[in-house]
Amino acid sequence: MNRRLLLAGLPAIIVSRQGHGTTGQYTTFRNLRLWPGDAQGVSCRAQIMVEPSGGMCMRIRVRDVGQIVLPSWYGNARVVGRLTARDREVLLVSFEGNHGTGVSQRLGALIGMDNTRQLRVLGIETLEAEDNQVSTANRSTLGAVTGQPGGFAVSVVVRTDIEHHGRRQPSRVARWRTELPWDGQGVIPAPPPPPGAQEEHARVDRTRAAVADWLAEAPRTDLREAPFEEWGLWNVGLIEQPA
């Protein structure tokens, strides 16, 4: 995201200079309203850190509350913005997902407080994915998350292009919108795929359910060792799932 656009869209964010142990700038938030009725809000800092192992992560430290840690293999994690749901603000933070030759993925972690005032990861969505592993087929996935008074909504568009016997077939486009009601209790629930859902749609919904089950086991605040592959999250944007 363009830095000027980020600043224009989020006036309460201050981008500061590089600090010790970081690979880039850090972002400071003021008046983050994580709890209903908290007009003053809290401050927090999101920063890419270099770990002793040489790997990178993003640490989001919320003053007097706690911190969230996300993996960031290339140091490209960033705060996308704030969403409002259930009279509170939730951070949407993007970070790297599946990556390799011909494959890329950007995930979005929804971070906020539940009704027990526990800071935690509330959900994970795919914001963008590309599969260009072979010259005869490619797939692009785009996801957008919005906040609503009673929860969240996720809109997804998946475009698949395949070449068959040297001739490119008409693009296949799947698009849908999923409502995710949330009452503030625990993590964001994951509804099952609707009857007749296209394969791309069903795959996203099944993965969301697996993620939600893991997030609900305990308040998750560190995703560095999360079982992304086990959930099927790495496969969301692929044309064919591995056997």
- pLDDT tens for each residue of 184-222: 999 999 999 999 999 999 999 999 999 999 999 999 999
Q: Is the pLDDT of residue 13 over 50?
A: no
Q: Which residues fall within 8 angstroms of residue 131, CB to CB, at 6 or more apart?
A: 102, 103, 137, 138, 139, 140, 237, 238, 239
Given a cut of 90, whether residue 16 has pLDDT beyond it is: no
- Dist. CA 207–CA 211, nearest whole Å: 6
φ, ψ at 196 (rounded to 5°): 80, 10
CA 228 from centre of chain? 12
Is residue 120 situated within a structural domain?
A: yes
Write the DSSP assignment of 82-129 as a string of letters: EEEETTEEEEEEEEEEEEETTEEEEEEEEEEE-TT--EEEEEEEEEEE
Q: Name which residue leads in pLDDT, 17 or 233.
A: 233
User: Rounded to a whole number, what is the largest CA-CA distance in the chain?
Assistant: 62
pLDDT of 22: 54
pLDDT of residue 163: 82
DSSP 222: B
Residue 240 forms part of a structural domain:
no
Residue 123 belongs to a domain: yes
Q: Please, what's the b/e burial string for 41-55 (b: 16 or more CB within 10 A of its CB; e: otherwise)?
A: bbebbbbbbeeeeee
* Confidence label for 3 from pLDDT (cuts 50, 70 and 90): very low
Domain assignment of residue 243, yes or no: no
In a domain, 22, yes or no: yes
CA distance 161 to 117: 46
pLDDT value for 5: 34
Question: In which domain, by residue range, is 31 found?
Answer: 3-235
Residue 110: pLDDT over 60: yes
| Average predicted confidence (pLDDT) for the chain | 89
Please report, rounded to a whole number, the percentage of residues in the chain having pLDDT higher than 70: 88
Q: How many domains does the chain have?
A: 1
Weakest mean pLDDT among 2-16, 86-100, 139-153: 2-16
Taking only the tens place, the pLDDT of each residue in 17-64 is 444 455 556 788 889 999 999 989 999 999 999 988 888 999 999 999
In-domain check, residue 241: no
Q: Classify residue 219: in a domain, yes or no.
A: yes
CA distance 104 to 180: 26
Residue 101 has pLDDT above 80, yes or no: yes
189: in domain: yes
